[in-house]
Amino acid sequence: MHLVILYGATVPCRITYLHKVGEKMTKEYGVVLIGCGHIGREHIQDIYYKKQIHIIGVVDVDPLRAQEFCTMFGADSCSTDYRDYLTRSDVDIVIVATYVNTHLSIVKDCLSNKKHVICEKPIGRTMQEGKEFADIVKQSDCKVLISHVLRHNKTYQKVAQLIQEGVIGDLTLMRMVQNHHCKDWERYKRLMLDCSPVVDCGVHYMDVMQWFAQSPIVKVDGFGSAIDSDLPEGQYNYGIIHVRLQNGCVGYYEVGWSKNLASSNLKEFIGLKGRISIILNANRYKDVEEGDLIELYLNETNEYRTINCKSEYKNMWGQMQKLIEMIETNAPAVPTIDEVFSAFRVVMCADSQIRKKEFANMQESELKME
């Protein structure tokens, strides 16, 4: 088997089998990274030094950036064409960290060459692309893991456990806000060439809502606007998604990328017996313990509890470990491709409403008092 991370060149590779007392035998995996940008760096810097990983190649359309990553992370080689690596027998896993407009075509090429894949979200630019992506994953014998990093985040895993154990009773409301004051504005504008923040970030939080509630989203409304003047043509950069889940729980997610919007972050989950809030490490005072803070409130006793959770926000190594587990034991993906598509479908519905301005218009006459 072979692992490939999109953006690489060809180079002969060794396969070493590692043995540890008390652990099952596992091999060293040849990995190729495709895409040497911001998110590609987050993937590779968390895995390149691990014993089970051998970085065979890195790939980027910019040869200087590819060479920089090759040197920095000790790859065997670099290339501007990921196809250089796909026929090599020493490549097991490919990491696709490119813009969304390339995801489908690259993953198709990887799977046709029997490579396992970690692919960045979202899975498409349109509902049709997302459906085609999900279908090819289901039809392949290779393992594919979509980078929904919050599934591998220990803080979110702990909150899911608390909710599903009934600590705060039946879940009734989920409130999530993630607004960015974008100092690196040009990078965010490039991201918006392919999709809005509602789609790019929203897939994470629609997945979190369905995961925490253990219930599908059945109704969605999207509201949004262009709140900066120099956006890519036809794009918007601020939106709110309102949802209702099958179990009756409701939720909303607010997201914006802007030069002017103040950064804000809220993750709150309310049940009949209390609430849980997540305070990320970046938002905590620095004289306290490192890590995220889970704050639990129970209304029957008027009691507050806190849990300090040492967790990486983007646990790329944990994600890679999950893919290796899928390869070696045939374990299911987390999230599954059906769960990935479900979250994608929600944000695409909201995105469509925002673009078409399909809102319920209140007539002036309906607001008059008798």
Q: Report pLDDT digits (tens) over 161-173.
A: 999 999 999 999 9
pLDDT confidence of residue 362 = 53
pLDDT at 360 > cutoff 80: no
Topology agreement, domain 3-147 and domain 151-316+348-352: no
Q: Among residues 278, 272, 62, which one has the least CA distance to residue 167?
A: 272
30 neighbors 57 (Cβ within 8 angstroms):
no
Type and span of the H or E element at 292: strand 292-298
pLDDT at 368 > cutoff 60: no
Give the global pTM.
0.89
pLDDT at 284 > cutoff 90: no
Average pLDDT, the chain: 90
Q: How far apart are CA 170 and CA 249, in angstroms?
A: 9
pLDDT at 48 > cutoff 50: yes
Mean pLDDT of 232-249: 97
Looking at the domain that runs over 3-147, which CATH code has it been given? 3.40.50.720
Domain map (residue ranges) of the chain? 3-147, 151-316+348-352
Counting residues of the chain whose pLDDT is more than 70, the rounded percentage is: 87
Residues 131-189 pLDDT 10s: 999 999 999 999 999 999 999 999 999 999 999 999 999 999 999 999 999 999 999 99
**Ordered strands of the 217-225 beta sheet:** 217-225, 238-245, 250-258, 171-181, 264-271, 274-279, 292-298, 303-309
Was domain 151-316+348-352 assigned CATH 3.20.20.210? Answer: no
